[in-house]
Chains A and B, each alone.
Chain A
Amino acid sequence: MKTHSPFAPLLLFAFLTLLLLPVLVLLIWSVARSWPWPSLLPAAYSAAEWKSLFSASSRLVPVLLQSVLLAGGVTLLSLAASVPAAKALGLLSFPGKSVVEMLVLAPVIVPPLSYAPGMHLLFLRLGIADSFAGVLLAHLVPCLPYGIRILTNVFRALGDRLEMQARVLGASPAQAFLHVTLPLIAPGMASAGGLLFIVSLSQYLLTFFLGGGRIVTLSMVLLPLVKDGERAAAAVWSTLFIAVSLLFCLLMERAAKRCASSRDTFFLS
């Protein structure tokens, strides 16, 4: 379907510019010292915002630590609950399946505003309101649907023939899962993991309602900066947010590759 008209590449270029230029402008803002109207580029550059981000008095370390621990924990727990659920949804048929499918899909579209206030009342009664554990549990709700969805597709494509074969050859269910199924779904788990991490990292309202302002993640720092028009500081923290997300995704991808290549997969060919 290739064509030689110059129109399509030009239009594509325009599209990509509109989508990517804002990110470039963000990066420029993070190193702009003064950018007066009506200059198209900053009048002076400085690394001051970056320096203050990494200075001793900066909130960087506690915020980053809390964000990564939270999102990392949410990712692990979500994956742990998603793998069995996805196996059931991908490979088994059972009464009530369509209702379950709808329930595990719903939090993708139903916003945190719907369930966060009630969840806060519940957590107050359980004594985990305004705590790390509470926010961790809360984040499972918007994250689980993504994990289950991705892994359901993985299990559907995989089928259960290989695991069955392992069982026939005498493997226990645990052995069959650990040595046959797990290496095969590892790449799917890795890409799901990257997404889950980002979904958790992006939660503002849920973290605010359930953390009561005590659990300060990157999103909790960013929103007030944007609200108050602190453009340079907001640009620096935004860049950090994107860098952390990217880094985690890359790490997950590498982990998946290592997991896939370190095991014998000759039976697949």
Chain B
Amino acid sequence: MKSALRAYLLLTPALLVLGALFLGGFAPSFLQSFGYFPAVGMTEPTLSFYREVFGGREFLPSLLFSLRIAFLSSAGAVVFGALLALLLLRTGRGEKIEGALAAIPVIVPHTVAVLLVLNLLARTGLLARLLFASGFISSPDGMPSLVFDRGGLGVIAVYLWKGIPFAAAVVYVVLRNMNTRLWESATVLGASRFQAFRYVVLPLLLPSLSSTFVLLFGFSFGAFEAPFLIGPTFPRALPVAAYSAYIHPDPTFRPYSMVMVVVITFIAMLLVYLYSFFLAGEERAS
């Protein structure tokens, strides 16, 4: 009991900040989503804002857009990241490159990553110029739209650029610490290289692949900058739609925004639960 008291004493500053600002910051949004906003004279709790938002023209396309972007970018990042990690290990160049590689996506924020993608993929970007130089297109108009497009390819590119090195760094560390004898003995016992990977290495990688996937999914699902800057105007990503409802000059519109904020938070909390579940599995494995 004494150690419990001591633990909570040590945790007090962090829990105060997170309790007051994180939980305390979400509480008014939650209440406002039910139309309870005393500061502007709304005191009758109601479900009508949920009904209106859910029944609206943009909500479902926005939600699906955000989920799709998050799924495609994190799945891509995990697959390509794992591939990159394997390449680093097999070519024996890992030790030199891995540290720098892991640092890049951390140091470059979303807004700068958007700029990088624009420079490359916009109508007059480097890719279009390369295609022109090699004769595939004859003018910028011949370039398929890869940014501001309805499919959100530009947004996905931003998250892939940031996510691949991150996933590669995670997988690389797990691979490096893995007992290579396991792999070798599988091969000695007659497994092909693919079989050894599929039945020996992959199961050992799965916990960290899953947790990385969930983490990246969460990052891209809730992030605002990339879809705001190079996302389509319809459907807008859910955080962008929530943001523009929030900055509406009439504060009695606030509940519409807060309904979307509550949906985003609810999905994010599910991901937090999943992530901590996978994280626990990872810790047991190591």
Which residues of A approach B to under 8 Å, CB–CB?
A: 1-3, 8-9, 11-12, 15-16, 19-23, 25-26, 29, 37-40, 80-82, 84-85, 87-89, 92-95, 97-98, 100-119, 121-122, 137-138, 140-141, 144, 148, 195, 198, 201-202, 204-205, 219, 222-223, 226-227, 229, 231, 234-235, 238, 241-242, 245-246, 249
Q: In the complex, A101 Cα to B56 Cα: how many Å?
A: 37
Q: In the complex, A55 Cα to B195 Cα: how many Å?
A: 62
7 contacts across the A-B interface (CB closer than 8 A): A3-B90, A80-B13, A105-B279, A106-B18, A226-B114, A226-B229, A242-B107
Task: Specify which of A87, A202, A231 lies most central, judged by the most chain B CB atoms within 10 Å of its CB.
Answer: A202
Chain A residues in 8 Å Cβ range of B118:
226, 229, 231
Q: Is the CB of B13 within 8 A of A12?
A: no
Residue of A nearest to B86 (CB): A8
Chain B residues in 8 Å Cβ range of A94:
3-4, 7-8
Asked if A109 meets B272 with Cβ closer than 8 Å, knowing A12-B88, A94-B8, A114-B261, the reply is yes
Further pairs besides A21-B120, A117-B29: 11, Cβ < 8 Å:
A8-B87, A15-B164, A37-B128, A95-B4, A102-B273, A102-B276, A109-B215, A109-B218, A110-B269, A111-B223, A112-B224
Q: Is the CB of A140 within 8 A of B24?
A: no
Chain A residues in 8 Å Cβ range of B93:
9, 12
Asked if A144 meets B18 with Cβ closer than 8 Å, knowing A22-B117, A94-B3, the reply is yes
Q: In the complex, A102 Cα to B101 Cα: how many Å?
A: 29
Q: Is the CB of B39 within 8 A of A84?
A: no
B256 to chain A, nearest CB (A): 12
B67 at the interface (CB under 8 A from A): no
Q: Is the CB of B84 within 8 A of A15?
A: yes
A30 to chain B, nearest CB (A): 11
Asked if A118 meets B268 with Cβ closer than 8 Å, knowing A85-B14, A140-B17, A222-B112, the reply is no
The main secondary structure of chain B at its interface with chain A is helix
Residue of B nearest to A101 (CB): B276
Which residues of B approach A to under 8 Å, CB–CB?
A: 3-4, 6-8, 10-15, 17-29, 39, 80, 83-84, 87-93, 97, 101, 103-104, 106-112, 114-120, 124, 126, 128-130, 132-133, 140, 161, 164-165, 180, 183, 215, 218-219, 222-225, 228-229, 239, 242-243, 246, 254, 257-258, 261, 264-265, 268-269, 271-273, 275-276, 279
